Each structure stands twice: as structure tokens, then as C-alpha cells.
Structure 1
Amino acid sequence: MERIELQYTGSKTARNRALSGVVGSGDMEALFEPGKGNKLSVSIKTSVDGSTPRWQRLFDRISITGSLPSGKLVIHDFGATPGVARLRIEQVFEEASHD
């Protein structure tokens, strides 16, 4: 198990807590809690050791294509592929932004 902590600039407001996915074989869970300020704190617990560069690249790509919300994102990863990881992250951010 590896624990990864990342920080990004959060420039978008999200009002709601949100959950996407489930922890299970080949999948992951993403939990978001909105916050004040301009930071997105990302905490990842993963079963894949040595995956910090992969997660950094994934969040770098997401932040380039759109703004990130301010708050805290907690990810419990059980070997999700990068495509599934991105899908879950985008789902949780979309859910958090709904009124």
C-alpha cells in the first residue's frame, strides 16, 4: 500500500460533498469535500506501489483541460486503470458541482 499526497490550485467552487465509484477489484472510490480558499488537497491510498508519477501526470492533465474545485479529494484505489481513475475523478467533481 502506498499513500500519496498532492496539492493543486483549486479555482472552481463546488458546493456539495460527493462520492464516485466503489473500492473493489480493478476500481476505485473518490470522495470529495468542498473547501474554502484556492487549494485542492488530494490524498490517495493505493494498492499499487510506485505509482506517484502516474497520479501526478493524471492530475496535471485534468488541471490543464479544466479548472479544479477547491476542497479535499480522497481516493481509495484498488488498481484502477488511468482511464477509470480519470472517469471517477471527473464524476465526483461533476456531482459536487450540482445544485
Structure 2
Amino acid sequence: MEKLTFEFFGGAPVNATRAPALVGVVGSGNLEVLIEPAELGGACAVEILTAARGFGATWKAVLDDFFTRHKLADVRIAINDVGATPAVVALRLDQAVEDFLGGGA
């Protein structure tokens, strides 16, 4: 397993009382995404545990695209991955933020 961490800044803080959102299933070729509020001084922190080693640049590109579309702050995102494609990662991230923000993403 490889552990990757990223931080993004410049987003809008979310309500700290929001319930966490969990989407996806950890299984062959898939992943799960957990989004939860966290006091991070205006940052959005992302931690990824992945079975696919050596794809840090690909993860960064997918997350850059996600953060461009969803400017979040004071949010922690945890991803558990077993080899999902970038398209599946983007889909799960979008699903998680939509659930987290109550369909208002």
C-alpha cells in the first residue's frame, strides 16, 4: 500500500456540523471516499491509501481537477483505493461531495 497526502487552499469553509459522507466500495477495481468536516485552518486535506504504487502524479491531476470544480475548505477527504481508474476516482469524488453538501454541489 502507498499512502499519499495532498493539501489544497483557497476554498470556502463548510459548516462544521455537516455529517460525513461515505461513497463507494473497496473491492476489485474500486474505491471508497469519505468526506468529513475538520478544523484545518482553511485547508482541504486529502489522504489516499492505494494498492497501485507509483501513480502520485495521476492522483494529483485528478485532485487538482476536483478542487477546481469543488472549492472546499476545512474538509478532510480519505480515499481507500484498490486500483480504480482516474475516471472512477473522479466519479466517486463527485458523488461524495454531492452527498456531503446535500445535493447542492
TM-score (norm 1): 0.90
Q: What amino acid sits opposite 1:30 in the alignment?
A: V
Report the alpha carbon displacement of residue 67 of structure 1 after superposing the two structures with TM. Answer: 1.6
* CA offset digits 1:34-73 (Å, max 9, x no partner): 1244111100000000111011011111122332343111
Structure 2 match to 1:87 = 91
Instruction: Please give the residue correspondences for 1:39-78 in structure 2 after superposition, counting only pairs within 5 Å.
Output: 39-78=43-82
State which of 1, 22, 26 in structure 2 corresponds to 1:23. Answer: 26
- Cα deviation code 1:16-40 (max 9, x no counterpart): 2000101000100001111244111
Relative contact order (C-alpha < 8 Å, sep 6+): which is higher? 1
* Identity of matched residues, %: 35
Which range is displaced more, 60-69 or 88-97?
60-69
Name stretches of at least 5 consecutive residues in structure 1 with no aligned partner: none
Q: CA deviation at 1:12?
A: 4.5
Q: For the aligned residues, what is the CA RMSD?
A: 1.6
8 Å Cα contact 2:66/2:93 also seen in 1: no
What's the TM-score once normalised by structure 2's chain length?
Answer: 0.85
- Point out 4+ residue stretches in structure 1 off by more than 4 angstroms: none
Amino acid at match of 1:3: K
